[in-house]
Amino acid sequence: MTLAVINIGESHNGSPEGDGVGGDALVCDGENIAWIGASFDVDVAAHEVVIDAAGATVVPGLIDSHVHTTFGDYTPRQQTVGFLESYLHGGTTRTLSASEVHVPGRPTDRVGVKALAIAAARCFQNYRPAGITVHGGSVILEPDLTPEDFRELFEQGVHMAKAGFGAFATAMDYAPTVAAARAAGLVVMCHTGGGSIPGSQAKISAEALLAIRPNVAGHVNGGPTCLSDSENQLIVEEGRDIALQLVHAGNLRSAIDIAERALALGDRHRILIATDTPTGTGVIPLGMLRTMAELVSLGPLSPRQAVTAATGSVSATYGVEGGRLEVGSVADFLVIDAPLGSAADDAFTALGRGDLPAVACVVTSGQVRLTRSRNTPPPTRPVRVFPA
């Protein structure tokens, strides 16, 4: 099946520079983007589906790198069914497991944590709730996991690991296990700040993070309890190989502080935007857009930097698809606009004012998944999809 998008207004290709896609039209063939160019070169009759963006903005689908999935579209923490489908209505097209720590009665032994991660990864290979791609299976690091275990996990499709919930005596004791997981190819996220739920470390400090050396400082602005300002400075300035994940369920003041420090160093590529949900903070379908708007309207990010932090930078950090819009890339993207009634005239300006953009259309893997979000206001522009 082919799908064409015409009359694109502003756009963002997911790159660190925040460039546009290079045209006001694109064509998808199957799951991928096959062509980008000018609308007047598109023969709309040649395509099964046509999206007339009517001057609205096109950006990559949002990738939430901190979602506590379990199995299926259900969260035991908040006893909610269908939360992932609702996140699609907030522009999230891809989620990454922050470990299946919320599975009731989850195992903590070596065999059990491996089995849990492999099962979650395999299940979501075959299940895409509402068209969202879920990267399930993030192994919860425990002291008895070996380098051979990590190699086996990687071969079985588990490419992520989570530090902060295992039976380690101190946070510093994670360092050799994290190093072994990274050596096997796993991307390791580490809990940051005060404890979040029973079973998590009481606190993982900036000093501990620098010793552990994960790929990602998970909820570095707190999950929910943040580090001190001096610790923020330490992790930003001394941990320049560590991505800085800023989450909705954390401390906004700390997120702004960390973002300011990272930008001052020229390290915008390290900033990732995520939600850290569902947790005690709840199920938040608009969590990605809300955090983007806050870090733009109250913080130091430009609208284009915020989009990069929620798309292309996540893809680059985790080695997953979906964060870039270019020929050959997977066709995960949003048509967004200034919400009806906003003083803004486009989606980027709306973010700058703190308004959440209207989600007018969501496409994943080259298929239209929704044509009007139930969770955002309608768009200002008359975005249409044919056939309706």
User: For the ranges 119-123, 200-204, 267-271, which has the lowest average pLDDT?
Assistant: 200-204
Q: How far apart are CA 132 and CA 147, in angstroms?
A: 32
Give the pLDDT band of residue 194 (cuts 50, 70, 90).
Answer: confident
pLDDT tens-digit map of 2-52? 999 999 999 999 999 999 999 999 999 999 999 999 999 999 999 999 999
Domains of the chain (ranges; CATH) run: 2-60+325-386 (2.30.40.10), 62-285 (3.20.20.140)
pLDDT tens-digit map of 219-260? 999 988 999 999 999 999 999 999 999 999 999 999 999 999
Q: How far apart are CA 380 and CA 304, in angstroms?
A: 20
Amino acid in the structure at residue 287: G
pLDDT tens-digit map of 170-185? 999 999 999 999 999 9
Whether residue 299 has pLDDT greater than 70: yes
Radius of gyration of the chain (CA): 20
pLDDT on residue 201: 57
Amino acid in the structure at residue 311: T
Q: Where are the alpha helices (DSSP H) in the chain?
A: 83-88, 110-125, 147-155, 175-183, 206-212, 229-238, 252-264, 287-297, 303-310, 312-318, 347-353
pLDDT on residue 388: 56
Phi, psi of 155 (to 5 degrees): -65, -30
3-state secondary structure of 137: coil
3-state secondary structure of 282: strand
